Structure 1
Amino acid sequence: MNIYPADRAILGEQDLYLFNEGNHYRLYEKLGAHTVTREGKTGTQFAVWAPSAESVFVIGDFNGWDKTRHPMQPQGKSGIWLTFIPGVGPGACYKYHIESTVAGYHVDKADPYGYRHEEPPRTGSVVWNIDYEWHDQDWMQIRHKKNSLQAPIAIYEVHAGSWMRMSEEGNRWLTYRELAVKLAEYVRQTGFTHVEFMPLTEHPFYGSWGYQTTGFFAPTSRFGSPQDFMYLIDYLHQRGIGVILDWVPSHFPNDEHGLAYFDGTHLFEHADPRQGFHPDWGSMIFNYGRHEVRAFLLSSAMFWLEKFHIDGLRVDAVASMLYLDYSRKAGEWIPNTHGGNENLEAIGFLRQFNETVYRHYPDVQTYAEESTAWSKVSRPTSVGGLGFGLKWDMGWMHDSLKYMAREPIHRKFHHGELSFRMIYAFSENFVLPLSHDEVVHGKGSILNKMPGDDWQKFANLRLLYGYMYAMPGKKLLFMGAEWGQWQEWKHDSSLHWEQPNHPPHGGMQRWVTDLNNSYRAEPGLHEEDCFPDGFEWIDCHDAGASIFSFLRKSRRGDPILVVCNFTPVVRINYRVGVPHGGYWREMLNSDSDLYWGSGQGNAGGAQAEPVPQHGRPFSLNITIPPLGILYFKG
């Protein structure tokens, strides 16, 4: 058992120095609201950064929201204001009333470092402690193996508010503790290794899916307390499931109670809208060049890793941070000091973020959602990289979905849309994502992107997933995609859990489960995901038949043969070169009756014959199912 010590809320000179220097990464222990004892009296110490304030008061339910009763005192020239109020303890609701040096600006702000906030639409902060007794020691001791680039990482992306709802109770969402039990059981059944939660940091607008964060140190109170969220993570860990959290340092909303215009000045954001305003999301951009802002964000990242045992942080919208002209026309952005469009301050922050995370938590991973050709995103900062552990391969996702949406008769003219990926596949450590972004805003479900009648749609989707799991790279599927949900995802309603009871959906779910289990069990399918030694083309040139064949290999060299047929034509007596003789067992066949396929296949495997093919001394004479994929192990 692991019990965290009480909060250490004494603000010393070293804390102020590191904060103003931008190198303090545990500000959550110093700023915000902390229950402490001073001169024999127990109460709460409040501390907030507001350097342009003329005066700051703590207001709350303990003083009738009186804006004059509890003034705070400035701490030298640090910009931090502090006070201690005896008798105030956990559960008390509060805000900071700030009177700015900017004439006429008075505002009530939530605590940027608050551990808990009121459930939206209320916007107050809540005094809280984050003590918790953990039971995940076994997981924490081995997670370096589970998060390794050589480990199988199959991520199940989840939106907590819509994964499952209680229809018989007014369509309410599950609490963190309810979610723990149901989600852990389901993830174990389907074989995923990790859960990635879309942002659970506190956010005022539910429809933002969490990406408009106001509480960078608080899990949303919609589903329970911070301890309830810890229980969810602890429960998943005890069942061998890693937890990744979406973390959003790229932008924040301009709600009055939040960070925007915090002390009457542009404290957290850039003042110039050409640098401080996102045209896509109508939100504010952090001033990454300001030391205290960097310390704030670094501390947020470290908070989730230290206090909540998070196993990975997925950084949203990295491209929007890297480029000053992101989604801007000429004249709408300001070049950097060299005249370029690179955001040098954001680049410096991302490098500092990754260096700090991996220095203190080398057994976790950071993931970049980065959609451009920026080089070395997942390479160490020592060689000029950004320092992330892995990067989402958005190019693979776009190319694959574009190809799969084509009618099979046309695919032979676009063969390169699939083979192109292997030109750059090992330039980064990639995750292959089929995420929430592909099933919203009128894009339809993944299943509905597939062409043909119902049988062909399901066959195409099984083929896509089989191809995805065979390709080098870690895997990510958004919830509901694992059974081929027909409907586009809606954040305010539950997934359609009745669908897996129907044969085509149930078959899809079994297929994904078997893919996950094979991916985990076979070193050849995961060990060299990020290294070129693990992949070898057999034939990527049979455009006429729309067939690809290749090998995946473990460090020991044990090969797994993969053959994909992207047409609805059964290919009989198709010969594929293999590196050695003997019997090649048919491990997986997407056309099996088990998966609602047509049952075409090779009766469990094929014997390699000494017939040269594709430059190899042996070959298999096989039947390739329509819109099917086969895995053979020699």
Structure 2
Amino acid sequence: MATLSIIKNDPWLEPYADAIEGRHQDAINKEKELIAADGSLKAFANAYNYFGLHRTPTGWVFREWAPNATGITLIGDFSKWKEYVKYALKPIGNGVWEIKLKPEALHHGQLYKMLVHWEGGMGERIPAYATRVVQDEQSKIFSAQVWAPEKPFKWKVRRFVPDTRPLLIYECHIGMAQEREGVGTYTEFKDKVLPRIVADGYNAIQIMAIQEHPYYGSFGYHVSSFYAPSSRFGTPEELKELIDAAHEHGIAVIMDIVHSHAVKNEVEGLGRLDGSYNQYFYGDDRREHPAWDSLCFDYGKNQVLHFLLSNCKYWLDEFHFDGFRFDGVTSMLYYNHGLGQAFGSYGDYYNGGQDTNAITYLTLANKLIHEVNRKAITIAEEMSGMPGLATPFKAGGIGFDYRMAMGIPDYWIKMLKEKKDEDWHPTSIFWELTNRRADEKTISYVESHDQALVGDKTVIFRLIDDQMYWHMMKGDDNAAVNRGIAMHKMIRLVTLATINGGYLNFMGNEFGHPEWIDFPREGNGWSYKYARRQWDLVDREELRYGELNAFDNAMIELVSDIYDFQALPVEKLWDKDDDQVLAFKRGDLVFVFNWAPFKSYTDYGFLAPEGEYEVVLSSDNKKFGGFGNIDEGIRHFTQHDELYADDHKGWLKLYLPARTCQVLRYRHNNK
């Protein structure tokens, strides 16, 4: 095998060439094995068209893979939930069971389950490939539902190409996106929240908790039915309407997909679908995740690969999702799930503790997704930093388009918790935001839903704390609020300005949503008070949340207007820890930050390309909650210095008020 470019480009990986080339060959071998009969991954990943319930020209057909079962019968309201021979499935080989029914046997909207028998037991089960699962409001019991509307959904946007230059993601959760205390719907989101996202300027939404999950408070991470969009938010058609509407507005829709584990529930989930412990999951001590109270897939089984790869294709084909953010990738990559491991050197990624089967699955999933839609977006939520995760497969990588820059929000939390304002050093900030592999694109973010959960704090709450409850009125000159608003803007702009792939914001954080997220549970009296978004706060003109939202809009618009902003080199112009000043250049834009809490500087100079500059964004603008001390109408000209004449650089001198940032655009050479 020729040396893979991932190794050529990073000499530090040379000692681990055998491991990298080995995992690359594993994926090649497994793909050949899987596609031997069908010719391609795209053709192979069609399990959902074969298994599950389907209406055909001659009636209905239902199939289930259940190798340990000794008998399977469909039960439902059509059989008064009793077991009848006429609804019994027959084994047709390779662990597959099948039944064919006449057209009048089943009707759209009816509820059903499987009654599965195995040696020594039996139990009701929801089919693995069920595409619609509903919960009875009184009994709280989940059932599959026959879902076959007479008229197929008609898409308004047949082909959609995401705008990823740069990718600007609005992370959201359908159920908690509404103002009222309760569970929001796909339609409410389409009508009420989507217009806000359009106005805010983001070009993608990343939706959490789509796959059906029994416990709402799991945030969608304990999935039971992998092919069913959660019915608590509405119908499949209503989800399609939301995606279609987003596409009409030029917004890509990314699904938060959970293939790293599954809920332990046996009646609702895959836990013991056919009575065995090792059908979809490991049957030994690897079966249960040690930290998540969930089950771990056995990625070494071809039937499991068939199930999961087909799941990726299903959401792309059936619902027109534009890609996926894969959750819990670190847990998949390592036998120990990455728990308690520091990952301090390259050797930690190639010490034999890597789950080669899971790595092969992720590699093939990325190949398949881009085979189905070459413009699809794949993002890995991964914290260990494994090299090659977001490097193309042909180069020797696993093939994700992006990886989440999970160290950045951790860095901001650490700064806010442990450092005094006067100890915020520009050298540290710049290094943290730009320290990444050259061959991998990342999604940078200040905070996601993780930082907003109960037990943690959002950035705005760490900055202002309970003063938010009393002093967010305009005209209320509160020092804590002024500091919080100033730093909130600076932290977000410097994070966005240094992206090399994309940027992510969790809904509400763009305007400093004050409350944490707490889903209804026994400990809070099953309250929805904190499982919602208080949009009225940003809509009320007398409050200061609108100022933060306006700044977010302005900075998003600034980078959106520059094609391929994320690909422009980040050139540091100045960083001086004593002064707490940072300046860097991207294209024609110069970003300047004065982190000092009390020191303002007049005629602060640093070297920049010779020419004329104009201010295009200032956090100190009054409409953004600033004090208006920066005169944005002044044109700035560099001062010539013969020492730097050969470099065509001069001294750019600016007024830098304390705790402010500004962006200047280079206009032309003033010589």
Which interval holds the TM-score relative to the shorter structure?
Answer: 0.7 to 0.9
Does 2:105 align with 1:71? no
Q: Which runs of 5+ in 2 are unaligned?
A: 1-33, 342-349, 465-478, 520-527, 667-671
Contact 2:388 2:398 (8 Å CA) reproduced: yes
Aligned-partner Cα distance in 1 for 2:184–2:632? 45
User: In structure 2, which of residues 213, 225, 239 is the aligned counterpart of residue 229 of structure 1?
Assistant: 239
- Partner of 1:10 in structure 2? none
Deviation at 1:91, TM superposition (A): 1.2
- Partner of 1:105 in structure 2? 121
Does 2:656 align with 1:624? yes
Letter in 2 for 1:30: Y
- Partner of 1:380 in structure 2? 392
Matches within 5 A, 1:384-533: 384-405=396-417, 406-412=419-425, 415-424=427-436, 426-433=438-445, 434-450=447-463, 453-473=480-500, 474-491=502-519, 492=528, 493-500=531-538, 501=540, 502-523=542-563, 527-529=564-566, 531=567, 533=568
- Partner of 1:134 in structure 2? 155
Please list the CA deviations of residues 144-171 of structure 1 after superposition, one character each: whole Å capped at 9, or x if unmatched: 5x14xxx1211111111111133xxxx3
Aligned-partner Cα distance in 1 for 2:37–2:131? 24
Distance of aligned partners of 1:522 and 1:528 in 2 relative to their CA distance in 1, 3 Å threshold: closer
Deviation at 1:277, TM superposition (A): 1.3
Q: Residue 462 of structure 1: SS of its match in structure 2?
A: helix
User: In structure 2, which of residues 149, 156, 167 is the aligned counterpart of residue 153 of structure 1?
Assistant: 167
Aligned-partner Cα distance in 2 for 1:465–1:118? 40
Does 2:553 align with 1:539? no
Letter in 2 for 1:104: G
Contact 1:376 1:385 (8 Å CA) reproduced: yes
- Partner of 2:584 in structure 1? 550
Q: Residue 623 of structure 1: SS of its match in structure 2?
A: strand
Distance of aligned partners of 1:105 and 1:604 in 2 relative to their CA distance in 1, 3 Å threshold: farther
Does 2:132 align with 1:116? yes
Does 2:601 align with 1:585? no
- Partner of 2:201 in structure 1? 191
Aligned-partner Cα distance in 2 for 1:33–1:343? 34
User: In structure 2, which of residues 299, 320, 328 is the aligned counterpart of residue 317 of structure 1?
Assistant: 328
- Partner of 1:4 in structure 2? none
User: In structure 2, which of residues 191, 207, 210 is the aligned counterpart of residue 200 of structure 1?
Assistant: 210
Letter in 2 for 1:496: Q
Q: Which runs of 5+ in 1 are unaligned?
A: 1-13, 331-337, 554-558
Q: Residue 173 of structure 1: SS of its match in structure 2?
A: coil
Aligned-partner Cα distance in 1 for 2:265–2:225? 12
Letter in 1 for 2:141: R
Aligned-partner Cα distance in 1 for 2:634–2:333? 50
Contact 1:399 1:418 (8 Å CA) reproduced: no
Matches within 5 A, 1:265-280: 265=276, 266-273=278-285, 275-280=286-291
Please say which of residues 603-612 and 213-222 is displaced more in the overlay: 603-612
Please list the CA deviations of residues 4-52 of structure 1 after superposition, one character each: whole Å capped at 9, or x if unmatched: xxxxxxxxxx999669x997311111110111233xxx3x211101011
Please say which of residues 219-228 and 573-582 is displaced more in the overlay: 573-582
- Partner of 2:28 in structure 1? none
Q: Residue 517 of structure 2: SS of its match in structure 1?
A: coil
- Partner of 2:179 in structure 1? 165
Contact 1:56 1:98 (8 Å CA) reproduced: yes
Contact 2:179 2:534 (8 Å CA) reproduced: no
Q: Residue 626 of structure 1: SS of its match in structure 2?
A: coil
Aligned-partner Cα distance in 2 for 1:447–1:602? 27
User: In structure 1, which of residues 548, 557, 562 is the aligned counterpart of residue 591 of structure 2?
Assistant: 562
Q: Residue 346 of structure 1: SS of its match in structure 2?
A: helix
Aligned-partner Cα distance in 1 for 2:339–2:200? 42
**What is the root-mean-square deviation in Å for CA atoms of aligned residues?**
2.4
Report the identity percentage.
25
Letter in 2 for 1:289: G
Aligned length in residues: 582
User: In structure 2, which of residues 113, 118, 125 is the aligned counterpart of residue 95 of structure 1?
Assistant: 113
Aligned-partner Cα distance in 1 for 2:36–2:107? 25
Distance of aligned partners of 1:404 and 1:426 in 2 relative to their CA distance in 1, 3 Å threshold: farther
Letter in 1 for 2:292: W
Aligned-partner Cα distance in 2 for 1:595–1:290? 55
Does 2:607 align with 1:572? no
Does 2:340 align with 1:306? no
Deviation at 1:616, TM superposition (A): 5.5
Contact 1:245 1:313 (8 Å CA) reproduced: yes
Aligned-partner Cα distance in 2 for 1:16–1:94? 35
Aligned-partner Cα distance in 2 for 1:16–1:118? 38
Does 2:635 align with 1:606? yes
Deviation at 1:383, TM superposition (A): 2.0
- Partner of 1:34 in structure 2? 54
Contact 2:614 2:632 (8 Å CA) reproduced: no
Distance of aligned partners of 1:327 and 1:470 in 2 relative to their CA distance in 1, 3 Å threshold: closer
Letter in 1 for 2:387: S
Distance of aligned partners of 1:216 and 1:16 in 2 relative to their CA distance in 1, 3 Å threshold: farther
Please list the CA deviations of residues 446-488 of structure 1 after superposition, one character each: whole Å capped at 9, or x if unmatched: 2022277111011110111111221123110111101111221
